[in-house]
Amino acid sequence: MPFTPYHLGPHGCVGLVLKRYLDLPVFVLANVAVDLEPLAVMVFGLSYRVHGYCHTFLFGSVVGIVWALVAYPFRDVFKVIMNAFRLRYSTTLVKMIISGVLGVWLHVLFDAPLYRDIRPFFPWEANPLYGLISNPTMYQFCAICFVPAIVLYVLVARNYRTTKDTKSTKIQIEQ
């Protein structure tokens, strides 16, 4: 896809539904991490596939792990940001690694049907997913996913406020 924005709808949906099990910022931002490869190829004019090794499940796993390790020291920053968005945030290094890997894998699954140069099952050179879904259909699906992602976000954020208000009310009553 033409860079990360199209991925945010589906990743937002999956990430918000599985928020209890995934580190949402790491999962969603894994899209940015994996798309640094095509960006570098285009910006620097590298003689390399636009969607190279990072767009495979094997090396994409490494990208997800590295991204999680880079993000780990910033988990307190993520917590502040998530709280500002009214989303509870609790994480572990293992949760971040799993989220990074799964975030990259979902990105690869969405890109593989669209681009002939992706080799998702490297070292196998074929892309059996290519052409299974047309580009317009995939773009429409990803764009449409923004709607449930926004609805899910509103529901989760509203629950955050309600739960937080309930706790503060309970504390006031007990005092």
Q: Given a cut of 50, is residue 1 above it in pLDDT?
A: no
Residue range(s) defining the domain that contains residue 27: 5-174
> Residue 129: which of 156, 142, 145, 110 has the closest Cα?
110
For the record, the structure tokens of 73 come out as 């020291």
Q: At 22, give phi and psi (nearest 5°).
A: -115, 155
pTM of the model: 0.86
116-134 pLDDT, tens digit per residue, is 999 999 999 999 999 999 9
49-82 pLDDT, tens digit per residue, is 889 999 999 999 999 999 999 999 999 999 999 9
Q: How many domains does the chain contain in total?
A: 1
Cis peptide before 148 (omega within 30 of 0): no
Measured N-to-C along each axis, helices 5-17 and 146-174 cross at an angle, to the nearest 10 degrees, of: 40
> How far is the C-alpha of 93 from the C-alpha of 148, rounded, in Å?
28
Which pLDDT does position 167 carry in this prediction?
A: 53
| 100 burial level (CB within 10 Å; 0-12, 13-18, 19+) | buried
